[in-house]
Structure 1
Amino acid sequence: MQVHTLDKAAIINELKVGTGINQAVHQTRRADFALMLAMFSNDVRDNTPVEQIDEVITTDKLLRQRFQLQEPQALQNDQSSYAISAEQAKQFHDGGLSSAKLSHYLVPDALTYLPEDTHGLPEDIYFNLSGHERRHLADKEPKKLLPADLYQQLVFANRHDQIRAQA
């Protein structure tokens, strides 16, 4: 019965005990002091106030919408990059360098123009590859594994060929 009442007491720290621990120290009652310390909770989360923190998800896209920023400058060219660069070249010829800079700041051009259809490789490396390696780069689907019954298929084809050769 007394054990259950001690469990229900929920002694977490010295604030729950009151002046009992202080009196045990001053009156040198080591047994009482040890008992009170043994009843304290070992879980640090009982002693530390914990608040629920709502995590705000911030992505680059959300921040750009919030501050009304344009899309970031593309690192690599695509088909739309050619139209943008042509417009900037036109602005340069019509209005000079300041007009071309303004056009670039409004709609930034790609940082690099890599050759197309080389699978991200520089031209000199891509054209140095053999035809087989280029074909492997062009394959979108991964190669299928060999069938599990390949040995049986080869034996059947061999026997069928032998029968057809004898006939």
Structure 2
Amino acid sequence: MQVHTLDKATIINELQFGNGINHAVHEGRRADFALILSMFSDDVRDNTPVEKVEAVNTTDQLLRQRFELQPPQPLRSDQSSYEISAQQANLFHTSGLPSAKLSHYLKPEVLAYLPEDTHDLPEEVYHNLSGHQRRKLSEAEPKQLLPADLYNKLVDAQRTFQISTRA
């Protein structure tokens, strides 16, 4: 039998040999048994049926839309959160705790009221910064470093000035 014929045979398990492996065991033919076992595929995926599992893309937004849930409770305050908080406080004073709880469940209040325009720093730390440091925090892009040829430009400017003053 040719070697290439054995490679293309794709022998996966003992069912493809019929009684050959059984006869090799009962008659004590170890060489035949070893040869038959060596021709089996050693890939586990050949021996066991594998089904492709479709991964379903589930995001928080899709689940909230499917179950008709409210948006999640915001973590940080903005301008609209003060109005919501005032409304819930008013409901608490006029209608009691159940009304305030219902309002909170329908439109949740933020978890933390942080100061605005402090670049995520606590208020006491931000106000303790110097004016220069606050200005650096508010700059959108950092300043460019000095150009590499600054020394040459300064020397050229000095020579040009000296020439213009002597002439």
TM-score normalised by length of structure 2: 0.88
Whole-angstrom distance in 2 between the partners of 1:99 and 1:125: 38
Q: Deviations over 1:77-109 (max 9, x none)?
A: 111101111111221222122222221111111
Distance verdict in 2 for CA 1:142–1:164, change over 3 Å: closer
Q: How does 1:1-167 map to 2 (within 5 A)?
A: 2-144=2-144, 147=147, 150-151=148-149, 153-166=150-163, 167=165
Find the aligned partners of 2:143 and 2:12 in 1 and give their Cα distance. 63
Separation of aligned partners in 1, 2:33 and 2:85 = 81
Query: Sequence identity of aligned pairs in percent?
Result: 64
CA distances 1:93-147 after superposition (whole Å, capped 9, x unpaired): 2212222222111111101100111111111121222323322222222444555
Aligned residue pair count: 164
C-alpha distance in 1, partners of 2:61/2:78?
20
Between the aligned partners of 2:2 and 2:130, the Cα distance in structure 1 is 86
Secondary structure at 1:83 match in 2: helix
User: C-alpha separation between the residues in 1 aligned to 2:19 and 2:59?
Assistant: 52
Alignment partners' CA distance in 2, 1:126 and 1:162: 47
Tell me the secondary structure at the aligned position of residue 136 of structure 1.
helix
Change (3 A) 1:13 1:93: same
Structure 2, unmatched stretches of 5+, are none
Structure 2: distance between partners of 1:145 and 1:42: 62
Listed one character per residue, the Cα deviations across residues 49-83 of structure 1 (whole Å, up to 9, x for unaligned) are 11111110111111111111101111111111011
The 1:42–1:145 alpha-carbon spacing in structure 2 relative to 1, beyond 3 Å, is farther
Aligned residue for 1:82, secondary structure, equals helix
CA distance in 1, matches of 2:140, 2:41: 61
Query: For residue 141 of structure 2, what is the amino acid of its counterpart?
Result: E
The runs of 5 or more residues in structure 1 that have no matched partner are: none
CA distance in 2, matches of 1:135, 1:109: 32
